[in-house]
Structures are given as C-alpha cells and as structure tokens.
Amino acid sequence: MFVADTNLLLYAANRQAPEHPAAKEFLRQWRMDTESWFVTWSIVYEFLRVATHPRIFERPLTITRAWDFILSLFSSPSFGVLTETDHHSEILGDLAREYPHICGNRAHDLHIAAVMKEHGISTICTADADFHQFRFLRVVNPLLGQRS
C-alpha cells in the first residue's frame, strides 16, 4: 500500500513536463497492479489547484479536464481516497508536537502524513524531498528508479 503524491499526478497529466513519460507509465502500472494505492482529498485539491493555474502552466487544464483526470484514477480497482478518521485530531496533535518546526506550506505535507499514519500506510511515492522529514514514512521517488 502506498500514497501517490500530487507531483507525480501532475507530471502524468502534463504532456509538456520532462517527467511526463515516466510518470504516465508509473500511473499505468499502478492502475493495473493489485497493490492498493491511494491519494488524500487534499492531494486531489492540490492537483486541481496546480493543474488549472495559469501562472504555473502555459496551457493549464480546465477544471473539467483536471477533474476527469482524477476520475480516471477511480477506474483502477486498487485505487482509493484516504479520509480522516475519528483519531485524526489526536494523531495530528502528536505529529505537531513531534515536528514543531513545520509551518506554512508544509502544513499540507503534515496533513497527508497524518492521514497516512491513521491508516497505517508508511510509503509515499513522490518527487518531493520534504516528506523525508517524517521519520515514520518511507519516501520513494519512482522517477529516480526507486520502486514502491
């Protein structure tokens, strides 16, 4: 089981990205595999925010096309969306005390890490090195030849 981070989804959706061919292939493999893989709703919203942003992409996706990309993930029987549990506030509080340096945009990473911890998932596939700060996570960057 693993979580796929926003950046890999963006690379798979953006044909202009140099990482596009590799990310698209990883997504294809994950969709066909029986291993469970997930995103969080915050990853979905971050994807929608970035993929449609005209200051980030020369030709951003429309919100409809970006949402269609997310909907296509649901065709994989091994794909799911993780949500907060009744223990979320407790786990978030523990992580806030364990990682008191987290601030600003990194709060988004903290949310993903907390939801992963709630569900007992320790592997995140991402090209974002910031997740290395969470000692309980195994960070895999498939673009560097690492496998989940």
The SS3 assignment for 143 reads helix
The confidence band for 147, taking pLDDT boundaries of 50, 70 and 90, is low
pLDDT at residue 146, rounded to an integer: 56
pLDDT at residue 59, rounded to an integer: 87
**Domain architecture of the chain: domains with CATH:** 2-141 (3.40.50.1010)
For 4-37, the pLDDT digits (tens) are 999 999 999 999 899 999 999 999 999 999 999 9
Share of the chain above pLDDT 90, in %: 91
Distance CA 112, CA 57 (A): 24
What is the mean pLDDT of the segment spanning 121-147? Answer: 92
Distance CA 78, CA 80 (A): 7
What is the mean pLDDT of the segment spanning 73-102? Answer: 96
What is the mean pLDDT of the segment spanning 59-71? Answer: 95
Which of 113, 80, 77 shows the shortest CA–CA distance to 95? 113
Which of 31, 36, 104 shows the shortest CA–CA distance to 73? 31
